[in-house]
Structure 1
Amino acid sequence: MEVLGIGDNVVDKYVHLNLMYPGGNAVNFSVFSKKLGVDAAFMGTFGNDQEARHVEQVLQELQIDVSRCRHFDGENGCARVTLENGDRVFLGSNEGGVTRMYPLQLTEDDKAYIRNFAVMHTGLYSHTGHLLPELTQLGVPLSFDFSDDFEEEQVDKYIGYADFAFFSCSHLTDEAAQDYIRSKWAGGNQLIIATRGSSRSMAYDGTRFYFQEPMVVEAVDTMGAGDSYIAAFLIHYLREKNVQAAMIEGSRFAAESCLVEGSFGYGVPYN
């Protein structure tokens, strides 16, 4: 199995530590997938600063294929972060830097490359909404992360392209989350999954709901927990086609990732 993350790469700058860690939804998906034992690639845009060099170097060290990435003059994506009792708190960002400034455009070679993967993952922060019509014509299942600050206009615009749609719904009650994802199901074989922090996650296939309690740990850092859930869920679902088993693996791996600083470590000082 080979999987592909498309879109955002960032550094998360922990202001209380003066350390920056590589991350971003698409990068995290690729790295977590690699940690789970599958080949992974990342397609996105790097700037020409210290932050970009660090992320790219780490991905190469982890043997993530970055051969289809673009490079532009400008700031790499970065966010300012702190921790409160192990829970990451965002303080601001440059909204993706060059990823936002130079939207990814696909060549025919890119499309041929993408067709080799078992699944591709992107999301709201990846600035790839304009690519969804093209991506869904390539015969590869598409996973899309709506994160936790989704807007109704965005959801309604993109949800129909996703084979797997992920939402972070810790701000909703159990009943409200069920009502919401039921209302957004777009038909066919689509699966919608809602993670809810320390409350149970849920999945909906158009017919029934599935539920999974989180695995409780004393979190060091919750950064990347949702992305680790997504990676483990997708890999196990594609292997076994069992929603409940995939949710169990997602919860297990998300708990494990909460014991690591940053999304997946590799922090270095920044200027």
Structure 2
Amino acid sequence: MKALGLGDNVVDKYVNYKIMYPGGNALNFAVFAKKLGVESSFMGVFGSDEEAKHVISVIKEIGIDNSHSRFVTGENGCARVEIRNGDRLFLGSNEGGVTRSSPIQLNDNDRIYLQNFDLIHMGLYSQVNHLLPELQKIKAKLSYDFSDDFTEGDIKQIINQVSFGFFSLSGYSKEKAKEFLIEHFQTRNKLLVTTRGENSVLAYDGKEFYEAMPILEEPVDTMAAGDSFLTAFLISYLQGDTIVQSLEKGNEFAARSCMVEGSFGYGMNY
């Protein structure tokens, strides 16, 4: 199995500690997939600043293929974060930096490269929605993280172009979350999945619902908990586990991820 994180990379600057950590939904997916034993790659856009240099060096150290990324002059994606009692509070960002201002446009070599993957993951902040029509032509299953910041317009544009959709619906009751998944399930979808904070995770395959409880422990840092969950879920499911087994493995991996500072460590003073 080969997996690709397509889109965003950032540094998360923890302002109360003056430490920055690499992250971003697509990059987190690639790193977590690698940790779970899957051959993984990342394809995105990097800036020319010290933040970009740090992320690039970490990707190289971890051993993730980065050969089809772009490198342009400008600010790398950057977010400012404060940690209070293990929870993250976002203070603002540069809205993706060069990932937004210089989005990827596929060339022929990229199209050949993308045919190598079984699973491609992207998300609401990845700045690659414009690539979705082209991605329909490749064999890979497509996964999309709508996070908690989606609009109905986002869903309508994207949902029927992906196999797997993930939503964060913290505060939704179980019944309200089920209604949401039923309403948005489309013919292209294999599964829609929602986390609900400390409440049960739900998956829907167009016919039945599946449920598992998260593992609640005192976190060191909840950054990328959702990313780690969806990565472990997808890999487990695509490797043949049942939906419930995959939800449970996603929850287990997310709990372990919350014991690590930053998305996946590798902090550097700034």
TM range (shorter): over 0.9
Specify the alignment match of 1:22 in structure 2.
22
2:44 counterpart residue number = 44
Structure 2 CA distance for partners of 1:124 and 1:252, relative to 1, 3 Å = same
Would the alpha carbon gap of residues 142 and 98 (structure 1) be closer, same or farther in structure 2, given more than 3 Å must change? same
Measured in 2, the distance between the counterparts of 1:178 and 1:67 equals: 40
CA distance 1:104–1:234, change in 2 (3 Å): same
Aligned residue type for 1:14? Y
- Counterpart secondary structure, 1:125: coil
Aligned residues: 270
Q: 1:26 offset after TM fit, Å? A: 0.2
Whichever residue aligns with residue 231 of structure 2, its letter is A
C-alpha separation in 2, matches of 1:136 and 1:168: 25
What does residue 70 of structure 2 align with? 70
One-letter amino acid matched to 1:8: D
Distance in 2, Cα, partners of 1:187 & 1:171: 27
- Quick check: 2:171–2:197 contact (8 Å CA) kept in 1? no
DSSP-derived class of the 1:27 partner: helix
Q: Percent identity?
A: 53
**Could you tell me how far 1:173 is from its partner in structure 2?**
2.0
Aligned to 1:199: 199
Opposite residue 224 of structure 2, the aligned amino acid is: G
Secondary structure (helix, strand or coil) at the match of 1:214 reads: coil
How far apart are residue 108 of structure 1 and its match? 1.4
Q: Residues 1-271 of structure 1 correspond to what in structure 2 (within 5 A)?
A: 1-270=1-270
CA deviation after TM superposition for structure 1 residue 137, in Å? 1.2
Report the secondary structure of 2:216's partner residue: coil
Aligned equivalents of 2:184 and 2:247: distance in 1? 20
Q: Distance in 2 between matches of 1:14 and 1:163?
A: 34
90-99 or 186-195, which moves further after superposition?
A: 186-195
**Structure 1 position 241, deviation (Å):** 4.9
Q: How many angstroms does 1:246 deviate by?
A: 0.7
Q: Secondary structure, in 3 states, of the residue corresponding to 1:186?
A: coil
The TM-score, its normalising length taken from structure 1, stands at: 0.98
RMSD of aligned C-alpha atoms?
0.9
CA distance in 1, matches of 2:84, 2:233: 27
- What TM-score does the superposition give when structure 2 sets the normalisation length? 0.98
- Residue 232 of structure 1: SS of its match in structure 2? helix
- The structural deviation recorded for 1:188 is 4.5
Secondary structure (helix, strand or coil) at the match of 1:148 reads coil
| Offset at residue 189 of structure 1 (A) | 4.9
Superposed CA deviations along residues 215-264 of structure 1, whole A, max 9, x for unmatched, are 11110100000000011011111101521111010000000000000000
1:248 and 1:178 map into 2 onto residues whose CA distance is 19
Given that 2:162 and 2:189 are in contact with CA atoms closer than 8 Å, whether structure 1 keeps it comes out as: no
| Aligned counterparts of 1:84 and 1:149: Cα–Cα separation in 2 | 21
Q: Deviations over 1:105-149 (max 9, x none)?
A: 111111111111110000110011100010121111000000011
Question: Amino acid of the residue matched to residue 230 of structure 1?
Answer: L
For residues 58-115 of structure 1, the C-alpha deviation after alignment (integer angstroms, 9 at most, x for no partner) is 0110000000010010000000001122111101000000000011111111111111
